Amino acid sequence: QYVLGHWAFRRLDLMVDRRVLIPRPETELVAEVALAKAAGLLEAAGRGSVLRCADLGTGSGALGLSLAFELPRGRTEVWLSDVSADALDVARANTAGLGIAGGGVRFAHGSWWAALPQELRGTFDLVASNPPYIAEGDTQVEASVTEWEPHGALYAGADGLDAVRVLAAGAGEWLRPGGWLVLEIGAGQRAEVAALLQAAGLVDVEVRVDLAGRDRIALGRRP
């Protein structure tokens, strides 16, 4: 995929290179869930309302740009954040390539919630993320992945949950009441992630599986 330089993701044609993770088919399912939740919120909010969303750790922009591209134009504000300035450059290029630059897409450089403007605390309708969730030292990871893709986009501490802990902990502070957090997670992380979301005060917590039957999507709502 890096040789090609482009990668199809849902309705998007994304530029990818070694600065970002190649979007996986499983992540399209995460986008599908996020889009369904966002569409429901828009419908409930009525005409003229604008949905504020974020894709934290955006990489190529796959999740956030799917929201910006597939939801009604003019009714979404989508923040794309990444701790990697290189990755954010790729997301910017993809936004421009889709012709939606300036169309409600904003960029923020920084780590997870800390990247977002402080004045937006408690105002997000939906936050999606495909964080790193592989445990350091996991020997099951293919060599093609470990050798070519950004280490920081793959690994998250001894149990692979360091990033998920940060995302869960900040959800109650950054989501508005009724807002959703939608995360991609790794196989076998169901119980731990559900517990983290519940401990953060989220309700309607659910873990869904991918087409192979593996734990893949975790979501919860701020009451």
- Angstrom distance (rounded) from CA 65 to CA 88: 12
121-141 per-position pLDDT tens digit:
999 999 999 997 665 655 554
User: What is the pLDDT at residue 145?
Assistant: 46
52 in a domain, yes or no? yes
Q: Give a yes or no: residue 30 inside a domain.
A: yes
pLDDT recorded at residue 105: 96
pTM, 2 dp: 0.89
Whether the CB-CB separation of 62 and 26 falls below 8 Å is answered with no
In a domain, 206, yes or no: yes
Rg, C-alpha atoms of the chain:
16
Q: Which two tokens stand for residue 40?
A: 């429901």
Please count the structural domains in the chain: 1
Judged by average pLDDT, the poorest of 43-47, 64-68, 131-135 is: 131-135
Closest alpha carbon to 196 in 175, 221, 167, 217: 167
Which has the higher per-residue pLDDT, 141 or 203?
A: 203
Boundaries of domain holding 34: 6-221
pLDDT tier, 156 (very low <50, low <70, confident <90, very high otherwise): low
Cα distance between residue 51 and residue 166, in whole Å: 23
* Pairing of β 124-129 and β 51-56: parallel
For position 88, which CATH number holds?
3.40.50.150
In a domain, 1, yes or no: no
Q: Closest by alpha carbon to 216, among 22, 10, 30, 25? A: 30
| 85, part of any domain | yes
61 CB-contact burial (10 Å; exposed 0-12 / middle 13-18 / buried 19+): buried
- Any domain includes 153: yes
pLDDT of residue 144: 47
Helix (H) or strand (E) holding 124: strand 124-129
Of 58-72, 125-139, 194-208, the poorest mean pLDDT is in: 125-139
Q: Which two tokens stand for residue 16?
A: 């990818």
